[in-house]
Structures are given as structure tokens and as C-alpha cells.
Amino acid sequence: MSDEAPRSRRSIILAAAGTAAAATAVAIGRPSAALAADGDPVLLGADNHSDSITALTRDSINSPGDATLFVQNTISAAVVGHATSGQGVIGRSQTSAGVQGYSQTDAGVNGFGVFGVWATGEAHGLFGTSDGGNGVHGESNTGNGGEFGSSSGNALSTSGRLHFEGVSGVATIAPGRSSVEVTPGTDLTDATFVLLTPRGRLGPRDLWYSIDADADTFVIRLSKPVLHPLDIGWLVLD
């Protein structure tokens, strides 16, 4: 047997090993197309696609606050949900809140859209609680800050006092006077309705009001001057 044959086989083996190593290096340098299929692991820093639902299930917890998935971002949103036709994020729970948010400086849950936050439920569609602030706070630049309706029950039901900011107050008619002008903290129209409640006896006097919509003021009037100061409570309604 010649000495050339073993050297040729060794050369072929080394060449094949070099080719395999180069192919492996190329594969490591780019994501594999097979990793985008169902059953493959989720890759960090990559766009992962799947034809089926990706589910995470945790069978036991160490404490009630333990999460199945914890995501943290120091400069922006930690979790973003996007859908072209359905809900971006859905939360469900059998015993607690389906979706719950916390923030030390801003809203725990913030929504933008036709409905900023939309909620439905058998007990409470939307439930808010606070130790010292507003349980539910709504604002709008041009529309209604809050709107409530019910087909068979109460549109609004309270278990405490109602506070109206800028649309209610007490005006005092001074002795010898029969009127007082009021400037509420809201716009007035010719259709604005004002409820008046005197805190004293009117006697033989008529009580009414007139509105100046251009000046956003109204005047509480009596048919006769009063002898003593008379407080009149007022509430502006539309």
C-alpha cells in the first residue's frame, strides 16, 4: 500500500471539518428560519412569529403577588399590546382584577382611543378606589368628563354627599338690595338652568334669576329688597 493514500484521506477529513465549522459559524451569526415555527423557543431581540397561541402557565406560587411573567423597562412601556381588529390586551381573573396597574407618579392604567378605557362586568363595569384622592377621575377638553346611563336603574347612585366644583355655591343678597350677580366657573348659555334655594324666609317676595350668556353670569333677583342678609344656594345645570 502506498503512503499517499492515508495522507489524501486526512486532507479530505480536515477539509470537511473546516467546511462544517464555517457553516456552523454562519448559522450562529443569523437566526434560523425554523426558529419562527410553532414549538420553537422565543428569541430575545427578534421578531417571533407563530400560527398558534403562545401560553405561559404557572402551577404554583410562593406568594399572592408572584407573577407568571415579569417584564421591566426603565425608559418606556414594559408591555405593549397591538391588534388590527381585536383587543390589544385582555386580562382575565376568576377571583381578582383582570388587569391592574400601579404608578408612583402617573396613572396606573391609561387609555387612548374612541373609548380611553372600556370595561364591562356583572358586578362593576368600572371600579375605582383611593385612600385619599379620587376613586375615578374623568376629564375632557370639549366633551363630557363623565357620562352615565341606565335603561332600568339609576344612571348615578351615591352613598355620600355630592360636590360640584364651579357650578354651585352660595350668593348673599345684602340688606336693602333685591339682587346679586353671580359668576360661576363654567360657560353659560341661554338654555342654562339654575336651581335656587334660599337659606332664609322670603316672605312676600318672588325669587327668580336672569342669565347673561355673553358674560357667563347670572343675577339672582327678588321682587322686594331684604332687611337682613339673605343667602341663596345655587346650582347650574344644562
Q: What percent of the chain has pLDDT over 70?
A: 72
- pTM (whole model) above 0.85: no
Residue 98 and residue 90: Cα distance in Å, rounded? 8
Residue with cell 357667563: 216
Model confidence at 28, pLDDT cuts 50, 70, 90, reads very low
Contact 235, 194 (CB under 8 A): yes
Pairing mode, strands 193-198 and 230-237: antiparallel
Q: Which of 34 and 92 is assigned the larger pLDDT?
A: 92
229 has pLDDT over 90: yes
Q: Categorise residue 113: left if φ over 0, alpha if ψ from -120 to 50, beta otherwise.
A: left
Pairing mode, strands 179-182 and 217-222: antiparallel
Rounded to 5 degrees, φ, ψ at 36 are -90, 0
Q: Note the pLDDT tens digit of each residue in 124-155.
A: 666 777 777 777 777 888 888 888 888 888 88
Range 6-19 average pLDDT? 52
14 has pLDDT over 60: no
Domains in the chain: boundaries: 4-36, 168-237
Torsional sign, CA 110, 113, 116, 119: negative
Contact 232, 220 (CB under 8 A): yes
With CA atoms as reference, report the closest residue to 171 among 235, 86, 113, 216: 235
6 has pLDDT over 60: no
- Cβ–Cβ contacts within 10 Å for residue 95, how many? 4
Q: Note the pLDDT tens digit of each residue in 92-127.
A: 777 776 677 766 666 666 666 555 555 665 666 667
